[in-house]
Homo-oligomer: A and B are copies of this chain.
Amino acid sequence: MSVSILVTLNSNYIRPLKVMLKSLFVQHPAATFDIYLLHSSILPEEIADLEQYTSMEGHRLIAVTVDETYFSDAPVVKHYSKEMYYRILAFRFLPPELDKILYLDPDLMIINDILPLYETDLEDFLFAAAFHDRIPLTEINRLRLKTQELPAYYNSGVLLMNLRLQRETVREKDIFDYVQDNKKWLILPDQDVLNALYSTSIKNIEELRYNYDARFYRYYKLASGGKVDMDYVVRNTSIIHFCGKRKPWNKHYSGSFHSLYKHYEKLAFPSLMR
């Protein structure tokens, strides 16, 4: 059985994507992955390179090119492109026989098994995601997104999708209408839409295990009374998320997981000149 993974990105993120995929493959020597790449602007030679990269590791890349005219009536938000809709409407473009898929951001590093996450029973939830449990932030977002139903503000970087149920219940019109009415308030449009419209349909997964925010090493350690230290994270966390503007593939980055990220980057690009 192969594991279905979804990524959506533009050409700027191909390099981090390869590092993320490498870390995923290394952690799961016995698994076979189908990587669905939903995109509109990645060049054919870049796709070919990604296909080769993936197949050399024994996995499969399936590029799905989105026809942008599909979104001709969709509202746009500030400087964001219509790619902001790809994640939440991925079910429209994926093969109908897929019942579920795990969406992964390219700014992740996989350091332990993620199959238990993939096997999570989605029941009647549309998604499974982790929220970054800092309460004041949820309060601010509740006001900003003008919704009373915001039990938590979920991070959309790791998103297990119930495609079968989404096909039955998610309507583009609701999404486009919400964006049209609220575009002045949207900061991270796709994540905001996900939370505003569907947060009661999101099953909560463990942040510490599946969406550990790399910026907050000290916070997690302190908040856990010292339990969640580096040893704990390296042994128990499956997904490290390099949230925010500072990214470990950029020069002048520094952070607690810098050396480990560079380790996987070297595995992905063994002989790369900088």
B-side contacts of A230, CB under 8 Å: 253-254, 258-259, 262
Cα A19 to Cα B51 with chains together (Å):
36
A41 touches B (CB below 8 Å): no
A256 touches B (CB below 8 Å): yes
A266 touches B (CB below 8 Å): yes
A78 touches B (CB below 8 Å): no
Are B260 and A263 in contact (CB-based, < 8 A)? yes
Tell me which residues from 222 to 274 in chain A have a Cβ below 8 Å from any Cβ of chain B: 226, 229-231, 233-235, 251-254, 256-260, 262-263, 265-266, 274
B-side contacts of A263, CB under 8 Å: 111, 234, 260, 263
Cα A139 to Cα B259 with chains together (Å):
33
Are B259 and A234 in contact (CB-based, < 8 A)? yes
Cα A254 to Cα B256 with chains together (Å):
8
Query: Closest residue to A271 on the B side, CB-wise?
Result: B235
Given contacts A231-B274, A234-B259, A260-B260, could you give 17 more A-B pairs where the C-beta distance is less than 8 Å?
Answer: A111-B263, A229-B251, A230-B259, A230-B262, A231-B262, A231-B265, A233-B259, A233-B262, A234-B262, A234-B265, A235-B262, A235-B266, A256-B258, A256-B259, A259-B259, A259-B260, A260-B263
* Closest CB pairs A-B (n = 10): A259-B260, A234-B262, A257-B259, A230-B258, A230-B262, A260-B260, A234-B266, A260-B263, A259-B259, A231-B262
